[in-house]
Amino acid sequence: LLARPKPVCCLLCLPGVPAAFRHLAALEKPRITIRAQGERVSIRTESSLKNTEISFRLGEEFDETTADNRKVKSIVTLDGGSLVHVQKWHGKETTIKRQIVNGKMVAKHAMNNVVSTRVYTKS
Protein backbone atom coordinates (compact mmCIF):
# COMPACT_ATOMS: atom_id res chain seq x y z
CA LEU A 1 0.00 0.00 0.00
CA LEU A 2 1.30 3.46 -0.83
CA ALA A 3 0.40 6.64 1.01
CA ARG A 4 -1.38 9.41 -0.85
CA PRO A 5 0.65 12.64 -0.53
CA LYS A 6 -0.65 14.78 2.33
CA PRO A 7 0.36 18.11 3.87
CA VAL A 8 2.31 18.11 7.12
CA CYS A 9 0.84 15.56 9.50
CA CYS A 10 -0.65 17.44 12.46
CA LEU A 11 0.76 14.82 14.86
CA LEU A 12 4.27 15.76 13.76
CA CYS A 13 3.66 19.23 15.22
CA LEU A 14 3.33 17.88 18.74
CA PRO A 15 6.13 18.76 21.19
CA GLY A 16 9.20 16.53 21.04
CA VAL A 17 9.23 15.87 17.29
CA PRO A 18 12.39 17.45 15.79
CA ALA A 19 11.79 20.02 13.03
CA ALA A 20 14.02 18.19 10.52
CA PHE A 21 12.11 14.93 11.07
CA ARG A 22 8.76 16.77 10.70
CA HIS A 23 9.81 18.22 7.35
CA LEU A 24 11.12 14.94 5.91
CA ALA A 25 8.26 12.81 7.25
CA ALA A 26 5.66 15.15 5.76
CA LEU A 27 7.12 14.51 2.29
CA GLU A 28 7.14 10.73 2.66
CA LYS A 29 4.94 8.25 0.83
CA PRO A 30 5.62 5.11 2.88
CA ARG A 31 4.85 1.62 1.61
CA ILE A 32 3.10 -0.59 4.17
CA THR A 33 2.81 -4.36 3.99
CA ILE A 34 0.57 -6.21 6.46
CA ARG A 35 0.81 -10.01 6.63
CA ALA A 36 -0.82 -12.67 8.77
CA GLN A 37 0.97 -16.01 9.19
CA GLY A 38 -0.73 -18.35 11.60
CA GLU A 39 -1.24 -16.47 14.87
CA ARG A 40 1.39 -13.83 14.05
CA VAL A 41 0.82 -10.57 12.22
CA SER A 42 3.58 -8.38 10.80
CA ILE A 43 3.48 -4.77 9.65
CA ARG A 44 6.42 -3.59 7.54
CA THR A 45 6.80 0.11 6.74
CA GLU A 46 9.31 1.18 4.09
CA SER A 47 10.30 4.77 3.42
CA SER A 48 13.37 6.73 2.43
CA LEU A 49 13.76 7.82 6.07
CA LYS A 50 13.68 4.43 7.76
CA ASN A 51 12.29 0.93 7.35
CA THR A 52 10.57 -0.69 10.32
CA GLU A 53 8.87 -4.01 10.92
CA ILE A 54 6.89 -5.27 13.87
CA SER A 55 5.66 -8.81 14.45
CA PHE A 56 3.10 -9.64 17.11
CA ARG A 57 0.13 -11.70 18.23
CA LEU A 58 -3.18 -9.86 18.42
CA GLY A 59 -4.02 -8.83 21.97
CA GLU A 60 -0.49 -9.41 23.35
CA GLU A 61 1.74 -6.54 24.48
CA PHE A 62 5.15 -6.25 22.81
CA ASP A 63 8.15 -3.89 22.73
CA GLU A 64 8.46 -1.66 19.68
CA THR A 65 10.96 0.91 18.44
CA THR A 66 9.12 3.43 16.29
CA ALA A 67 10.41 5.14 13.13
CA ASP A 68 11.28 8.20 15.26
CA ASN A 69 13.18 5.92 17.71
CA ARG A 70 10.69 5.97 20.58
CA LYS A 71 10.79 2.83 22.74
CA VAL A 72 7.14 1.97 23.34
CA LYS A 73 4.94 -0.80 24.71
CA SER A 74 2.44 -1.72 22.02
CA ILE A 75 -0.67 -3.83 21.71
CA VAL A 76 -2.66 -4.46 18.52
CA THR A 77 -6.25 -5.69 18.54
CA LEU A 78 -9.10 -6.18 16.09
CA ASP A 79 -12.15 -3.99 16.65
CA GLY A 80 -14.81 -4.83 14.10
CA GLY A 81 -13.08 -4.36 10.76
CA SER A 82 -10.28 -2.19 12.19
CA LEU A 83 -6.76 -3.03 13.29
CA VAL A 84 -6.17 -0.88 16.41
CA HIS A 85 -2.53 -0.28 17.43
CA VAL A 86 -1.92 1.42 20.81
CA GLN A 87 1.58 2.66 21.73
CA LYS A 88 2.46 3.77 25.29
CA TRP A 89 5.65 5.41 26.57
CA HIS A 90 6.56 7.77 29.44
CA GLY A 91 2.91 8.34 30.39
CA LYS A 92 1.95 9.17 26.80
CA GLU A 93 -0.26 7.22 24.41
CA THR A 94 -1.02 7.21 20.71
CA THR A 95 -3.50 5.09 18.76
CA ILE A 96 -3.32 4.07 15.10
CA LYS A 97 -6.58 2.72 13.69
CA ARG A 98 -6.29 1.05 10.28
CA GLN A 99 -9.33 0.02 8.24
CA ILE A 100 -10.20 -0.67 4.62
CA VAL A 101 -12.62 1.88 3.13
CA ASN A 102 -13.60 1.64 -0.55
CA GLY A 103 -10.57 -0.54 -1.31
CA LYS A 104 -8.09 1.83 0.36
CA MET A 105 -6.45 1.56 3.77
CA VAL A 106 -7.27 4.55 5.96
CA ALA A 107 -4.91 5.01 8.92
CA LYS A 108 -6.01 7.43 11.65
CA HIS A 109 -3.32 8.44 14.14
CA ALA A 110 -4.61 10.01 17.37
CA MET A 111 -2.75 11.60 20.29
CA ASN A 112 -3.82 14.29 22.77
CA ASN A 113 -7.09 14.95 20.91
CA VAL A 114 -5.14 15.53 17.68
CA VAL A 115 -6.05 13.21 14.78
CA SER A 116 -4.17 12.78 11.53
CA THR A 117 -5.44 10.65 8.64
CA ARG A 118 -3.38 9.01 5.92
CA VAL A 119 -4.92 7.14 2.98
CA TYR A 120 -3.03 4.30 1.29
CA THR A 121 -3.75 2.81 -2.13
CA LYS A 122 -2.67 -0.59 -3.42
CA SER A 123 0.50 -0.48 -5.47
Q: How confident is the model at residue 115 (pLDDT cuts 50, 70, 90)?
A: confident
CATH of residue 9: 2.40.128.20
Following DSSP, what letter does each residue of 50-106 receive, concatenated?
--EEEEEETT--EEEE-TT--EEEEEEEEETTEEEEEEEETTEEEEEEEEEETTEEE
Number of domains composing the chain: 1
Q: Note down the domain range covering 12.
A: 2-121
Predicted local distance difference test score (pLDDT) of residue 79 = 96
Q: 41: part of which helix (H) or strand (E)?
A: strand 40-46
This prediction's pTM: 0.81
Q: Which DSSP letter does residue 25 get? A: H
| Phi and psi, residue 69, nearest 5° | 70, 20
Q: What is the pLDDT of residues 21-64, one digit of tens each?
A: 666 666 678 899 999 999 999 999 998 878 999 999 999 999 99
DSSP 8-state symbol, 12: G
pLDDT band at 19 (very low <50, low <70, confident <90, very high): low
pLDDT class of 111 with cuts at 50, 70, 90: confident
Q: According to the model, what pLDDT value does residue 18 have?
A: 65
pLDDT digits 0-9 by tens, 60-102: 999 999 887 889 999 999 999 999 999 999 999 999 999 999 9
Task: Work out the number of other CB atoms within 10 angstroms of the CB of residue 19.
Answer: 9
The C-alpha R_g of the chain, in whole angstroms, comes to: 14
